[in-house]
Amino acid sequence: MQTIDQALFRLSRSKFRSSFRLDIKDKAYIDRIGTQKLREHCKDMIAKRLAPAYIPNDGKQTPYRGHPVFKAQHACACCCRGCLEKWYRVPQGRALTENEQERIVNLLMEWIGREYRHTAE
């Protein structure tokens, strides 16, 4: 298993994955709700949109904008089960374990934190 730093480094080398950025609206939203509430949103989104064994609209369930977690999912290749399999070798067709969900949430929150700090500069 790779660390968060290793995953983010690998993702940074992808032209598509590294094109995602938080904008001022995202930063304002995070300021308004706080990181704890954002983590709760992230956990909920992963549990409902990514964790089930079968997702009827897999590959299309994650919008490209509208919430910082959506951007993080695309930036971190955690947007659909196909990307999870390609980037992290998490097989499709079975539900994600609690541990896998937690690792994804931690990765997404780290990406958001780094982007937030970068946007603040």
Q: What is the pLDDT of residues 32-71, one digit of tens each?
A: 999 999 999 999 999 999 999 998 888 788 988 889 999 9
The per-residue pLDDT for 110 is: 98
- The predicted model scores a pTM of 0.93
Spatial CB neighbours of 62, under 8 Å, sequence gap ≥ 6: 49, 70, 73, 74, 79, 80
Spatial CB neighbours of 76, under 8 Å, sequence gap ≥ 6: 7, 8, 11, 17, 104, 107, 108, 111
Banded pLDDT at 1 (limits 50, 70, 90): low
For the chain, the domains span 4-120
* Whether residue 121 has pLDDT greater than 70: no
